[in-house]
Amino acid sequence: MPEKLIIDTDPGIDDAMAIFFAMASPELEILGLTTTFGNVSVDQATINALNLLEMVGSSIPVARGISVPMFQTPLPFPDFVHGSDGFGNVNLPAPKGKAIDLSAAEFIVKTVLENPNEVTLVAVGPLGNLASALELEPRIAELTKKVIIMGGTILETGNVSPVAEANIYNDPHAADIVFSANWRVHMVGLDVTHKVTMNDELQARVRDSNPDFGQFLYDAGRFYADFYKASRGADGCFVHDASAVAYAINPDLFKVIDGPVRVATEGFAKGQTILKRAGYTYPENHWDVVTDSSVCMEVDEAALLSLYESTLTPQ
């Protein structure tokens, strides 16, 4: 049986890669997309999610989520990474469809309650929708099969501060709620996503194998790859969100360490994901009152890229 997923997303070029990757995988079944602010506004994210589905004729429901962080002032959208439209300024036409009437949090709660212990939540944006769903119905922490997030960093330098990754930094209070809930979070962060680089040749092969969305993904990917080449000297683009989907398909591609994670919500360490890695006793018990997370620290880059390519280049 395929793994049932809800993808919580802020599309986003790398989100588009992840969504098409998940849709093409026979191991996964997407029950819905829930949208959030992050790479773009939640309104643009919802438009983008609908456009991605319409490219392939999918009727997967889209639920619009939160538009701002829980407490902090919203940050500027990173149009220098994803373009003003989130897709590298390819300027797609408006979608024909609309989001469903349920909010993202309501859709998550309803779907989990209707499919107890069967739904995996894959969150590849800021975590406000998951935090809102927990507040709406705390029982989902016991009834969700797995929670996978693309976000955070432990040893790798952050991408929005020396210690913080963008998805966590955008809504640190929500992130701490999610990490502190009574479920195990599987964290796919910069410690592994900065170790996986997708070059232009691979993107071209995906383009040539997928007439419905391949050209779009390639064109949007030029903007994304150009950013990483200029800012990081990468030979292509880092594979962020698609790495979380790869974890959903085959977690054996990753090496993890287990331990409780808390998120700094204020000050110069805002957005830092802090993992308690040793069994020491500390004067403060912030890490002793939360469920352990599984944090990805190593990845088989070649195998992950091979999985992505083989899934999106059907023979």
Residue 315, pLDDT > 80, answer no
The answer to whether residues 3 and 28 touch, using CB atoms and an 8 Å cutoff, is yes
Question: DSSP code of 252?
Answer: G
Domains in the chain with CATH codes: 3-312 (3.90.245.10)
pLDDT of residue 32: 98
pLDDT of residue 119: 98
The answer to whether residues 73 and 45 touch, using CB atoms and an 8 Å cutoff, is no
- Per-residue pLDDT of 168-190, as tens digits, reads 999 999 999 999 999 999 999 99
Residue 278, pLDDT > 80, answer no
pLDDT of residue 224: 87
Residue 85, pLDDT > 70, answer yes
How far is 131 from 175, CA to CA, in rounded Å? 7
Asked if the bond preceding 12 is cis, omega within 30° of 0, the reply is yes
pLDDT of residue 49: 98
Residue 152 structure tokens = 């955070």
Per annotation, catalytic residue among 186, 194, 240, 286: 240
In what side-by-side order are the strands of the sheet with 293-299? 62-64, 28-35, 3-9, 119-123, 146-150, 185-188, 293-299, 254-259
CA-to-CA separations, 119 to 4, 6, 101, 116, in angstroms, rounded: 5, 7, 21, 7
Residue 284 structure tokens = 């403060």
How far is 193 from 270, CA to CA, in rounded Å? 21
How far is 6 from 137, CA to CA, in rounded Å? 16
Question: DSSP code of 88?
Answer: T
Crossing angle (nearest 10°) for helices 200-209 and 301-312: 20
- The residues near 280 (Cβ < 8 Å, ≥ 6 apart) are none
Could you tell me which residues are beta bridge partners of residue 258?
Answer: 294
Averaged over 160-166, what is the pLDDT? Answer: 97
Q: Which residue has the higher pLDDT, 230 or 67?
A: 67
Count CA within 13 A, CB hemisphere, residue 101. 0
Averaged over 204-231, what is the pLDDT? Answer: 90
Q: Which of 200, 228, 193 is nearest to 301 (CA)?
A: 193
- Per-residue pLDDT of 221-270, as tens digits, reads 888 888 888 888 888 899 999 999 999 999 999 999 999 999 999 999 99
- The residues near 58 (Cβ < 8 Å, ≥ 6 apart) are 23
**Number of residues that this document lists for the chain:** 315
Confidence label for 281 from pLDDT (cuts 50, 70 and 90): confident
Averaged over 20-31, what is the pLDDT? Answer: 98
What sign does the dihedral 143-144-146-150 (CA atoms) show?
negative
Q: Which of 227, 220, 189 is nearest to 206 (CA)?
A: 220
* Catalytic-residue membership of 194: no
Residue 114 structure tokens = 């209707």
Lowest mean pLDDT of 42-51, 76-85, 148-157, 225-234, name the range.
225-234
H-only helix segments in 189-293: 190-193, 200-209, 214-232, 241-249
How far is 165 from 160, CA to CA, in rounded Å? 6
pLDDT of residue 235: 85
Lowest mean pLDDT of 25-34, 107-116, 225-234, name the range.
225-234
- Whole-number mean pLDDT of the chain? 95
Residue 96, pLDDT > 90, answer yes
